[in-house]
C-alpha cells in the first residue's frame, strides 16, 4: 500500500504492518519516516531491534536468521534492512520475495530503508510481494512551487508562525535542503518566544544561504519558465564549482527531448503518448512542465537554441570566443522564456 510521508504516522497509529519500505533520496523525510516506524514498534511493545547493512558481498541468509532468532525476553523484533543505493542482485530479490511469502505469525516488523525506486522496480516480484503485506513510503523532494507552504506548515511543529513571504525566502535560501531548513526553524524557535510570527526581515537577517542546487533543479526551472529562479540556480551552480560541460549537457538533453515531443505531436500523437515514447519516459508529475515549455517554444526556436548550444560546446573546448558562463545563462534563460545577457553583444554571439 502506497503512503506519502505526511500520512504515515496516522496509518501506523491504525495498523503496524509486517513490512514498511521507505524509499527515496530526500534525507529529512526519509529519517522521519523511519523514526515513525521505530516509534510505532516501541508503542506496540517491540523493544528488540536488529540492524542489517547491505553492502558488497552481503550474506542474504542473515535476513532469514534475523527473523528466526529472538532473545529470551522478546516475542518479536524490528529488523532494519538498510540498503542505501546498493543493488539487490538476484540473491537479494529472491531473499526479499521469500521473506514476504514466509512471514507467518512471527510478529516481526521489517523496515526496508533504501534509495529511490523507479516504476520498473515497483513492478518487480520482490516489491509486489512485500507491498501486499505492508506500506510503501516513497520520499520525494518537495517541489519548489510547494516549498513555501511546506515550510509554513513545518514552522508550526516548532511553535512558530511563518508568514508566507518569510517561508518563501527561507525556501530560496535552503532550496533542496530540507534538513538545513528545519535546522534554521529549530534555531529560530530557540531564539524567539513560542507563537512568534516570523517575518521576512528576520529570515533575511538570521538564516544562512544553505541552498543546494544541481543541474536537474535547473532544467526543471527552465521547463516551468521560472526565470528568476533559473538565474539564481545558475549562480549557485557556479559557486559550487559545477563544470560548464555538465550544465550544457543537461540543457541540451532537454532541448532534444522537447524537439522529440514536438515531432511526436506533429505526427498526431497525444501528449501523454509522446511523453511515454521518450527514453526514459517522462513521469506524469513532470509532464505539465514539459507541456508549458512546448507551448512556449516552437520548433524553430528550439533548433536555434540547439545551434547555440553547439557553439557553446566549441567555446568550452576553446574553439570559439563566446563567453561560456554568459552563454549558459543566455541558453537557460531563453529556454525559460526570458532574454539573456548577450542580447547587446554582436549578432554572432546571440541566440537569434
Give yes or no: residues 181 and 246 share one domain: no
Q: What is the 3-state secondary structure (H, E, C) of 209-269?
A: CCCCCCHHHHHHHHHHCCHHHHHHHHHHHHHCCCCHHHHHHHHHHHHHHHHHHHHHHHCCC
Average pLDDT, the chain: 86
Q: List the one residue out of 168, 145, 313 whose CA is nearest residue 223.
A: 145
Domain that holds residue 251: 215-349
Give yes or no: residues 184 and 63 share one domain: no
Look at residue 73 in the predicted model and tell me its pLDDT: 66
Give yes or no: residues 47 and 98 share one domain: yes
Look at residue 74 in the predicted model and tell me its pLDDT: 66
pTM of the model: 0.63
Look at residue 23 in the predicted model and tell me its pLDDT: 94
Q: Could you tell me the CATH number of the domain that includes residue 24? A: 3.40.50.300
Look at residue 344 in the predicted model and tell me its pLDDT: 41
The pLDDT > 90 percentage for the chain reads: 45
pLDDT, tens digit, 9 for 90 and up, residues 203-219: 876 665 556 678 888 99
Look at residue 110 in the predicted model and tell me its pLDDT: 94
Look at residue 351 in the predicted model and tell me its pLDDT: 54
Domain boundary among 182, 206, 230: 206
Given a cut of 80, whether residue 348 has pLDDT beyond it is: no
Give yes or no: residues 304 and 201 share one domain: no
Regarding predicted confidence, which is higher, 138 or 69?
Answer: 138
pLDDT, tens digit, 9 for 90 and up, residues 22-73: 999 889 999 999 999 999 999 999 988 999 998 878 899 999 888 887 766 6
Q: How far apart are CA 122 and CA 94, in angstroms?
A: 15
Given a cut of 50, whether residue 346 has pLDDT beyond it is: no
Q: List the one residue out of 69, 77, 72, 68 whose CA is nearest residue 45.
A: 77
Look at residue 210 in the predicted model and tell me its pLDDT: 56
Domain boundary among 163, 189, 206: 206
Peptide bond into 280 cis (omega under 30): yes
Give yes or no: residues 87 and 167 share one domain: no
Look at residue 343 in the predicted model and tell me its pLDDT: 43
Rounded to 10°, the helix 89-101/125-132 angle is 30
Given a cut of 50, whether residue 144 has pLDDT beyond it is: yes
Give yes or no: residues 298 and 337 share one domain: yes
Give yes or no: residues 267 and 180 share one domain: no
Q: DSSP string spanning 169-207? A: HHHHHHTT-HHHHHHHHHHHHHHS-TTPEEPHHHHHHH-
Among 16-20, 169-173, 265-269, the range scoring the smallest mean pLDDT is: 169-173
The pLDDT > 70 percentage for the chain reads: 92
Q: How confident is the model at residue 191 (pLDDT cuts 50, 70, 90)?
A: confident
Q: Could you tell me the CATH number of the domain that includes residue 160? A: 1.10.8.60
Give yes or no: residues 170 and 227 share one domain: no
pLDDT, tens digit, 9 for 90 and up, residues 212-259: 678 888 999 999 998 988 988 898 888 888 899 999 999 999 999 999
Q: Could you tell me the CATH number of the domain that includes residue 288? A: 1.20.272.10
Given a cut of 50, whether residue 345 has pLDDT beyond it is: no
Q: How confident is the model at residue 87 (pLDDT cuts 50, 70, 90)?
A: confident
Q: How far apart are CA 233 and CA 175, in angstroms?
A: 10
Give yes or no: residues 160 and 280 share one domain: no
Give yes or no: residues 191 and 279 share one domain: no
Give yes or no: residues 53 and 161 share one domain: no
Domain boundary among 139, 156, 174: 139
What H or E segment, with its residue span, contains residue 227?
Answer: helix 227-239
Distance of alpha carbon 253 from the chain centroid = 19
CB under 8 Å to 164, separation ≥6 — which residues?
148, 149, 152
Give yes or no: residues 98 and 157 share one domain: no
Number of domains in the chain: 3
Amino acid at each position: 500500500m502506497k503512503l506519502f510521508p505526511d500520512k504515515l504516522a496516522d496509518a501506523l497509529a491504525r495498523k503496524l504492518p509486517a513490512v514498511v519500505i521507505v524509499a527515496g533520496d530526500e534525507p529529512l523525510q526519509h529519517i522521519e519516516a523511519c523514526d515513525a516506524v521505530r516509534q510505532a514498534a516501541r508503542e506496540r511493545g517491540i523493544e528488540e531491534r536488529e540492524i542489517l547493512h547491505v553492502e558488497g558481498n552481503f550474506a542474504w541468509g542473515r535476513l532469514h536468521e534475523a527473523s528466526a532468532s529472538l532473545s529470551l525476553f522478546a516475542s518479536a523484533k524490528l529488523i532494519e534492512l538498510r540498503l542505501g543505493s546498493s543493488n539487490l542482485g538476484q540473491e537479494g530479490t529472491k531473499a526479499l520475495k521469500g521473506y514476504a511469502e514466509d512471514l507467518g505469525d512471527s510478529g516481526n516488523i521489517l523496515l526496508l530503508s533504501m534509495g529511490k525506486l523507479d516504476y520498473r522496480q515497483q513492478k518487480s516480484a520482490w516489491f509486489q510481494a512485500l507491498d501486499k503485506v505492508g506500506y510503501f513510503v516513497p520520499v520525494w523532494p518537495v517541489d519548489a512551487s510547494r516549498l513555501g507552504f511546506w515550510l509554513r506548515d513545518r514552522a508550526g511543529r516548532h511553535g512558530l508562525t511563518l508568514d508566507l513571504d518569510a517561508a518563501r525566502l527561507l525556501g530560496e535560501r535552503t532550496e533542496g535542503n530540507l534538513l538545513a531548513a528545519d535546522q534554521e526553524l529549530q534555531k529560530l524557535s530557540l531564539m524567539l518566544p513560542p507563537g512568534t510570527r516570523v517575518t521576512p526581515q528576520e529570515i533575511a537577517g538570521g538564516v544562512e544561504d544553505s541552498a543546494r542546487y544541481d543541474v536537474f533543479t535547473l532544467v526543471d526551472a527552465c521547463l516551468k519558465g521560472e526565470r528568476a529562479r533559473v538565474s539564481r540556480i545558475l549562480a549557485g551552480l557556479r559557486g559550487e564549482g559545477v563544470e560548464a560541460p555538465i550544465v550544457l549537457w543537461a540543457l541540451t538533453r532537454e532541448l532534444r527531448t522537447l524537439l522529440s515531443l514536438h515531432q511526436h505531436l506533429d505526427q498526431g500523437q497525444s501528449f501523454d503518448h509522446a511523453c511515454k515514447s521518450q527514453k526514459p519516459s517522462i513521469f506524469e508529475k513532470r509532464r505539465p512542465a514539459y507541456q508549458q515549455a512546448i507551448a512556449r517554444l516552437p520548433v524553430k526556436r528550439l533548433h536555434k537554441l540547439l545551434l547555440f548550444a553547439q557553439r557553446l560546446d566549441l567555446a568550452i573546448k576553446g574553439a570559439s570566443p563566446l563567453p561560456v558562463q554568459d552563454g549558459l545563462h543566455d541558453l537557460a534563460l531563453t529556454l525559460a522564456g526570458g532574454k539573456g545577457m548577450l542580447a547587446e553583444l554582436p549578432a554572432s554571439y546571440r541566440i537569434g
